[in-house]
Amino acid sequence: MRILQLHCSSMEYTPTKKEIESAEEITPETKNLKEVVVTFIAVEEGDDKTVAKKAIAEIKESMNKIGCKKLLLYPYAHLSSKLASPNSALSVLKEMELLASDLDVSRAPFGWTKTYKLEVKGHPLAETSKVITKDGSSDDTSEAVKSESKIKSYWYIMTPDGNMQEIEKFNFSKHPQLEVLTKYETVKKRSVDEPPPHVRLMKKLAIADYEPASDSGNMRFYPNGRLIKSLIERYVTDNITSYGGLEVETPIMYDSHHPSLESYFNRFPARQYNINSEGKQLILRFAACFGQFLMAHDFQLSYRNLPLKLYEMTRYSFRREQSGELVGLRRLRAFTMPDCHAFCKDMSQAIEEFRKRFDLSRNVLHGLGLNESDYELAIRFTEEFYNENKQLIEETVKKIGKPVLIEMWKEQFFYFVLKWEFNYIDSQGKASALSTDQIDVENGKRYNIEFFDEQNKPQYPIILHNSPSGAIERVIFALLEKAAKDSKEGKKAHLPLWLSPTQVRLIPIKPEFLQFCKNLADKITDSKIRVDVDDRNESIGKRIREAETEWIRYILVIGEKEVNSKDVNVRDRETGELKQISFDDFISEIHEQIKNKPFSHLNSNRFVSIRPQIMV
């Protein structure tokens, strides 16, 4: 069955004469419908009740999306060349009418020649075509997805000396992670049978969890998770603003009728959340691009102002990934992502900026606790770009100091001519992109962002799209997976100290030392260190054990000796050793490790005994 579905403001049709003998017996009269979804239908050979049922389900789903309750089923033979017989076609149509009886449904007469007038609405979802078959699912893939699978890629490995060879000829024995990435990208085949470790950890550490009352892929963050997330957000923002990014804030939803947006959305698979509000079709953003481009469009720009760097920490960006694609903190439908665009006057300025942002991204990941050994670089570009900028690519690979996966396209298909990303390879052999940058040569024009060059001629800028860390949730995912990897190798799992929800825990041996603990905790807090007190009526052993399982780096047991001493007795989880050092040395040891990182106060009650229990 083939369907053409149109969301119309009005539709009027008049049966004029019988086209075939078996046409329905009716009295011809003009029908006029307002605010209606008109569905042109060609019933094909082999279509039956199952197909009718599927078709109606599809139609209902999309009508629900666009918020329209009125449906007109309109027999339309011209959509197909292998039509069903008139009799079976009519019975399928009648079946569909019946199945849709909970809507305001009507059906145009079968077998008649009709005149019609219709006015189609102008939003992206107003016009869709579908092919529905008995076994296969309906074919509703957007043009962008279809052509994407058609692009031809050539894969290579480039070594730091600039040598580029085909992946089949490369010896991966010293680069197992790169091999995983290469297979992941080129063969797209992998099988895993256990759930990813970070999902268990995100719950156990009371960082984040699924929220059953929301849509899948929209997470809840507990106090620990919110603290970690907020620290990472601030760290990334600080780094981007020192690079020169101007922090802005833009709306999370956009009118799909807007002309610039409409053509941009058409360049992408239709995987966004849609909201109907007061007759507007709103789309939740999937990146900060629109907001920043629309903003830049309204700026009065000269080449002297470029490169102009706009930046936003998008909380949230939304992508309506297929339900089965969602995994813990790795792949979400709502996520926080830094997005920094640089508007450049020409390619040479873009390349200069590209270099800075590549270094920025590496530094940001390094500060977050992820180093070159934790990720693999992939660079993708058009053949033309490569021929003109070989040196840039070779230099970039050299910086990373290890072989890099290269994807080359014969033609430019996307809006960019070059894109790179750092991929975290987890223990299950899955690659997840963290940092990324793109050189965009299309959207300056699409959004009509103009600047005036040295000759006072209007020009469109080249735009770089950089996310120096990737999604913040994904950074947490990578940190947890890395911790799980450590733990598997017999090392102690931990988070970077500056991200630990509790950095120091005090354990009083008896309640009579509680006051001393309070005073000590005040002093430590004054030094901008997160400290809490386990004042529960539990054995020392148990409280130490629990602090260990919470990955708390420093444990101070407070008893008679400590109260009467100027030194502190510190259990360092990293070494597993006990050491007696002065208070000041202890504080500076911590400060040394967390310097140049943002600080937030403890995001829990200081006293463990009065905290709600979030995770067992």
Partner RNA sequence: GCUUCGAUAGCUCAGCCUGGUAGAGCGUUACCUUGGUAAGGUAAAGGUCGCGGGUCCAAUUCCCGCUCGAAGCUCCA
Contact positions toward RNA, by CB under 7 A?
A: 137, 144-145, 148-149, 184, 188-193, 195-196, 199, 210, 212, 216, 267-269, 271-272, 286, 319, 321-328, 331, 414, 419, 428, 430-433, 492, 509-511, 537-542, 544-545, 548-549, 555, 557, 559-562, 569, 571, 573, 578, 613, 615-616
Nearer to RNA, 196 or 369 (CB): 196
Nearer to RNA, 189 or 304 (CB): 189
Strand pairing report for 554-558 and 567-572: antiparallel
What tokens does 343 get? 């508007």
Nearer to RNA, 81 or 322 (CB): 322
Distance from CA of residue 532 to its chain's centroid?
A: 35
We find the least distance from the C-beta atom of residue 491 to RNA, in angstroms, to be 11
Nearer to RNA, 31 or 53 (CB): 53
We find the least distance from the C-beta atom of residue 262 to RNA, in angstroms, to be 14
> What phi and psi values does residue 444 have, to the nearest 5 degrees?
-55, -45
Indicate the SS3 state at residue 559. coil
Q: Please, are residues 428 and 188 in contact by the beta-carbon 8 Å criterion?
A: no
Closest-CA residue to 467 (of 377, 339, 363, 355): 339
Q: Please, are residues 282 and 255 in contact by the beta-carbon 8 Å criterion?
A: yes
We find the least distance from the C-beta atom of residue 239 to RNA, in angstroms, to be 23
Residues 6+ apart with CB under 8 A from 356: 243
Nearer to RNA, 355 or 491 (CB): 491
We find the least distance from the C-beta atom of residue 278 to RNA, in angstroms, to be 25
Nearer to RNA, 456 or 564 (CB): 564
Nearer to RNA, 247 or 567 (CB): 567
> What phi and psi values does residue 347 have, to the nearest 5 degrees?
-65, -35
Nearer to RNA, 76 or 290 (CB): 290
We find the least distance from the C-beta atom of residue 578 to RNA, in angstroms, to be 6
We find the least distance from the C-beta atom of residue 559 to RNA, in angstroms, to be 2
We find the least distance from the C-beta atom of residue 544 to RNA, in angstroms, to be 4
HEC secondary structure over 375-436? EEEEEEEEHHHHHHCHHHHHHHHHHHCCCEEEEEECCCCCCEEEEEEEEEECCCCCEEEEEE
HEC secondary structure over 22-34? CCCCCCCCCEEEE
We find the least distance from the C-beta atom of residue 204 to RNA, in angstroms, to be 9
CA–CA separation, 205 and 549 (whole Å): 9
Sequence-ordered alpha helix ranges (H) in 205-280: 223-243, 259-265
